[in-house]
Every structure is written in C-alpha cells, then in structure tokens.
Amino acid sequence: KVNQLVMSKVTILFVRYLGCDVTEALIREFFSLRNVYNLNVQRVKRIKNYAFIHFETRFDAQLAFNYISHMDLCETPLGERGQAIELMWAKPPKKCNYRDDCVTNKSLNPTAQPFHQYANHTN
C-alpha cells in the first residue's frame, strides 16, 4: 500500500488494455483533451498493451482522470475492438537505499555464488 499523501502528489496515469495499433502520439492526443481542457502531457511511455501518461501538474492529471473515468471506455479509440481500457493512478517507484537491500546478488539470482579472483591461478 502507498501512503495517501504520496499518492496525492502523483502526476502520472496508468492505462492498460490498449489496442496493438495505438501509438504514443494517439495516447498523447487523447489524454491532452484538446477539445475540452488542452492539458499539458509531458511524456507518454507505451509498453506492450499499457502506458504511463506523465502530466505537467497534478491538476492536469486529475482533470484527465476525472473526465476520462466518466467516459464509456469501450468507445475510446485506444481499446481493442470494444475492449474497455483501464485507467488508474500510477504508483510511485519504490525508493531504495543501501539499508533496504532492494537489489542484492541473492535477489537477482538466489543460487549465485560470490566471485573470487585467484591471484595464483595456473592452467
């Protein structure tokens, strides 16, 4: 779970179940809501069938979220043949420091053995 105070500052929306032919430019145009608000979309990052939409301000992101949430999401040009897209707030990335041990050799490969370089190794 993410702290509500942290989530209240998020400026990124997450959308999934995008159609395979949907481009980042189409996503940017759709979420900028030019015909209603003309919102400032800073960046769109599409990966497979989902995307992250970065807004300049929380206010812009909130307007987009509220407006699009009340639409029939099966009728958007972003879905695949009547498939509803899913819209939610993006969770902020987890901040790691050395105490958290977020990434260790064992977490990457639990069976990994430490590497030892032998100074007097002969073939």
Kindly state whether residue 95 falls inside one of the protein's structural domains.
Answer: no
**CA angle in degrees (0–180, nearest 5) for 98-54-62:** 110
Question: What does pLDDT average to over the chain?
Answer: 81
Q: How many domains is the chain partitioned into structurally?
A: 1
Residue 14 lies in a domain: yes
Cross-strand bridge partners of residue 16: 50, 86
> Where residue 63 sits, what CATH number does that domain have?
3.30.70.330
In a domain, 84, yes or no: yes
Q: What is the pLDDT of residues 40-67, one digit of tens each?
A: 999 999 999 999 999 999 999 999 999 9
Q: Which residue, among 63, 77, 65, has the nearest Cα to 29 in the 3D structure?
A: 77
Is 109 contained in some domain? no
Report how far residue 46's alpha carbon sits from residue 27's, in angstroms, rounded to the nearest whole number: 9
Question: What six digits make up the tokens of 73?
Answer: 């999401």
Whether 60 maps to a domain, the answer reads yes
pTM for the model:
0.71
What pLDDT is stored for residue 72 in this prediction?
84
